[in-house]
């Protein structure tokens, strides 16, 4: 199995332009929230807890991220839990509002992505490897952690692959 360094370095190869990274810091969270909103219907009550496809996807993604890196996995799990909560909150709205939020955020998020890749001059990572869709949110969180001075060794290991 690939390591977190492998995944993030492969993704980073498509995201070397800082303007592209900046658009991803906005666009990817919008897309994740949109997907969680859209996956929050239908909901079933299991053991007094609302269960939806959004919860299942968040759990599976959280486990994937935790397996790659404990710290970043915990951060991702917390953020995914917040998106599930938000998605479930929006899912109870009138269908037109629910769809407007979900589809609107999804479309605008992808517009940000494609603007970033225009700056980059390169296609999105997921075109060559579908795992790019799962790694993108982790990349955004890792970039923020790197900007805050965390996970220095991981950051150095990723950047060393481009020297």
List per-block mean pLDDT (blocks of 10 residues) for the chain, which spans 163 residues: 95 93 97 98 90 96 98 98 97 97 98 94 85 94 98 97 88
Phi, psi of 44 (to 5 degrees): -125, 150
Tokens of 160: 């060393």
pTM as predicted: 0.93
Q: What are the residue boundaries of the structural domains of the chain, listed by start?
A: 4-160
E strands, 13-105, in order: 44-46, 49-51
SS3 of residue 46 by DSSP:
strand
């Amino acid at each position: 199995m690939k390591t977190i360094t492998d995944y993030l370095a492969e993704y980073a190869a498509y995201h070397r332009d800082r303007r592209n990274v900046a658009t991803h810091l906005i666009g990817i969270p919008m897309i994740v929230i949109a997907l969680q909103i859209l996956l929050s219907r239908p909901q079933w009550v299991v053991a007094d807890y609302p269960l939806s496809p959004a919860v299942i996807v968040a759990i599976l993604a959280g486990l994937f991220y935790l397996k790659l890196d404990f710290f970043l996995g915990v951060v991702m799990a917390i953020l995914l839990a917040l998106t599930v909560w938000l998605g479930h909150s929006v899912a109870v709205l009138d269908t037109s509002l629910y769809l407007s939020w979900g589809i609107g955020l999804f479309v605008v998020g992808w517009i940000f992505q494609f603007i970033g890749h225009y700056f980059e001059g390169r296609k999105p990572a997921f075109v060559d490897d579908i795992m790019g869709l799962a790694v993108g949110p982790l990349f955004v969180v890792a970039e923020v952690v790197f900007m805050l001075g965390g996970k220095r060794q991981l950051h150095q290991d990723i950047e060393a692959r481009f020297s």
